[in-house]
């Protein structure tokens, strides 16, 4: 296969370009996002079938078998999207930073704390921006409204957050995308449902609450057995995680956080997100589908001794499709828009809390994490 199998960019084209490393399932969504933003884009993948499928879906894209060949054609200030399995995230991001590119890195952004230091260190050394694709479900009108309501004190003093998302049979590499077996390999994926969905859960919750510290008080991370488990390869990652944390909010309030996420479990399926305060409770929708382009925020409060529930329905407006959010967040930040999703200290804090849940599940002892404003962790 030739290094370049489709279109050639015009020499006079000054638009920022997007270089997608890995042309598998998620790369197609990033390509859609680049297309909608009107940015020229390329992809590379050593896997011939993935690359050919990408080229067929996006005939306007340049395609390469090799990442170095693609980056050799990139310009300082372009955007790289790292869309390979997590084991390769740091190495690919380092190549992109070294070539002068800003990096949107798929989630989980890294596999452990040492890799996090390497990744954020590379971003700082290159003076380039990083978006962790865990922001995929952030920036929703419901979250911005919930944040405003909490700041206005509509629930009084918050004291408890409960976030539960339990699915019975939704393990990537098994029931979902079964050909991508790397999802169930610990070395390749870094972990199971906590790495796959936990990073979204915490990123979206912390986008609203903005905690400055967290202590994981107790945690469990387990894998269940099912008749659908593959026979040819072992499942090395957890399918069910539960933890109790104490969050410290920016005003120094302590809030207990009961958290659970499963993509494989035997009990009932549940989905809930509630923030309880002494004068009310709040819930906001953040998971798709968003029927009829609208999204809701629910407020429960006391009215003369009676409980009332008020549902506010907000238009989605120009909010991008969730799969397009990571590239949009980077593009906005580079164009002078919101910078909160390229904040390295927040990226580092969110991931450190994920790691702290694993550590407490393993050791049985509490683990503390603090935000380091202006720093990377
Ligand atoms: N599939 C999803 O629904 C989904 C959703 C959100 C995030 N993600 C994340 O996106 C990333 C990729 O997942 P995916 O589902 O697209 O996986 P995938 O298995 O469909 O694709 C990964 C691709 O990376 C390619 N690759 C491997 N080594 C490479 C290299 N050296 N250079 C370039 N390409 C290389 C593989 O050939 C493969 O085509 C992961 O971090 C995953 O967690 C996936």
Q: Count of domains in the chain?
A: 2
- The CA 83 to ligand 1 mean position distance, Å, reads 5
Q: In what order do the strands lie in the sheet with 102-105?
A: 62-64, 41-44, 18-21, 79-82, 102-105, 130-132
CB of residue 174 inside a 6 A radius of ligand 1: no
Residues 33 and 87 both lie in one domain: yes
Residues 124 and 185 both lie in one domain: no
Q: Which pLDDT band, with edges at 50, 70 and 90, does 296 fall under? A: very high
CB of residue 130 inside a 6 A radius of ligand 1: no
Is 22:331 a contact under the CB 8 Å cutoff? no
Query: Which domain CATH number covers 166?
Result: 3.30.360.10
Confidence at residue 85, expressed as pLDDT on a 0 to 100 scale = 94
CB of residue 22 inside a 6 A radius of ligand 1: yes
Average pLDDT, the chain: 95
* Within a domain: 25: yes
| Ligand 1 atom nearest to CA at 82 | 11
CB of residue 93 inside a 6 A radius of ligand 1: no
Confidence at residue 15, expressed as pLDDT on a 0 to 100 scale = 81
Q: Global pTM? A: 0.95
Confidence at residue 375, expressed as pLDDT on a 0 to 100 scale = 59
Residues with Cβ within 8 Å of residue 194, at least 6 apart in sequence: 221, 238, 241, 261, 354, 357, 358
CB of residue 238 inside a 6 A radius of ligand 1: no
Token code pair at residue 98: 């070294």
Residues 345 and 253 both lie in one domain: yes
d(CA 127, CA 115): 18
Q: What is the mean pLDDT of residues 328-352?
A: 96
| Ligand 1 atom nearest to CA at 51 | 39
Domain region containing 329: 140-370
Q: Which pLDDT band, with edges at 50, 70 and 90, does 4 fall under? A: very low
Alpha carbon distances (Å) from 202 to 137, 179, 308: 10, 28, 28
Residues 226 and 333 both lie in one domain: yes
Q: What is the mean pLDDT of residues 32-43?
A: 97
- The CA 84 to ligand 1 mean position distance, Å, reads 4
CB of residue 47 inside a 6 A radius of ligand 1: yes
Q: Which pLDDT band, with edges at 50, 70 and 90, does 291 fall under? A: confident
Least confident of 3-17, 79-93, 110-124: 3-17
Q: What is the mean pLDDT of residues 203-217?
A: 98
Question: pLDDT, tens digit, for every residue of 217-258?
Answer: 999 999 999 999 999 999 999 999 999 999 999 999 999 999
User: What percent of the chain lies above the pLDDT cut of 70?
Assistant: 95
Confidence at residue 5, expressed as pLDDT on a 0 to 100 scale = 40
Domain boundary among 128, 149, 167: 128
333: three-class secondary structure by DSSP: helix
Residues 113 and 161 both lie in one domain: no
Residues 158 and 232 both lie in one domain: yes
| Ligand 1 atom nearest to CA at 195 | 43
Residues 117 and 149 both lie in one domain: no
């Amino acid at each position: 296969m030739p290094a370049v199998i489709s279109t050639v960019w015009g020499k006079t084209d000054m638009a920022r370009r997007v270089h997608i490393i890995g042309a598998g399932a998620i790369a197609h969504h990033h390509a859609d996002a680049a297309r909608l933003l009107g940015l020229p884009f390329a992809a590379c993948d050593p896997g011939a079938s993935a690359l050919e499928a990408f080229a067929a879906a996006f005939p306007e894209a340049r395609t390469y078998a090799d990442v170095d060949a693609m980056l050799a054609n990139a310009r300082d200030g372009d955007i790289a999207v790292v869309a390979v399995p997590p084991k390769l995230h740091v190495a690919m991001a380092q190549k992109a930073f070294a070539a002068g590119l800003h990096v949107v890195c798929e989630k989980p952004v890294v596999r452990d704390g040492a890799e996090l230091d390497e990744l954020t260190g590379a971003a700082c050394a290159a003076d380039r921006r990083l978006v962790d694709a865990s922001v995929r479900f952030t920036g929703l009108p419901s979250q911005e409204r919930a944040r405003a309501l909490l700041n206005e004190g509509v629930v009084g003093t918050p004291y408890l957050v409960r976030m539960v998302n339990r699915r019975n049979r939704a393990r990537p590499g098994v029931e979902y995308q079964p050909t991508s077996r790397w999802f169930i390999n610990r070395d390749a994926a870094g972990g199971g449902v906590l790495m796959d969905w936990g990073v979204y859960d915490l990123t979206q919750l912390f986008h609203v609450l903005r905690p400055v510290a967290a202590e994981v008080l107790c945690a469990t991370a387990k894998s269940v057995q099912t008749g659908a488990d593959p026979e040819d390869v072992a499942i090395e990652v957890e399918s069910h995680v539960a933890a109790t944390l104490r969050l410290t909010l920016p005003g120094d309030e302590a809030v207990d956080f009961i958290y659970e996420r499963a993509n494989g479990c035997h009990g009932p399926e549940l989905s809930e997100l509630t923030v309880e305060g002494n004068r009310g409770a709040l819930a906001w929708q953040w998971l798709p589908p968003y029927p009829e382009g609208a999204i809701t925020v629910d407020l429960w409060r006391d009215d003369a001794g009676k409980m009332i529930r008020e549902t506010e329905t907000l238009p989605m407006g120009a909010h991008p499709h969730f799969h397009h959010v990571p590239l949009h967040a980077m593009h906005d930040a580079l164009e002078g828009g919101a910078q909160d999703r390229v904040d390295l200290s927040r990226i580092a804090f969110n991931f450190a809390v994920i790691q702290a849940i694993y550590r407490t599940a393993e050791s049985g002892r509490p683990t503390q994490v603090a935000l380091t404003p202006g720093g990377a962790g």
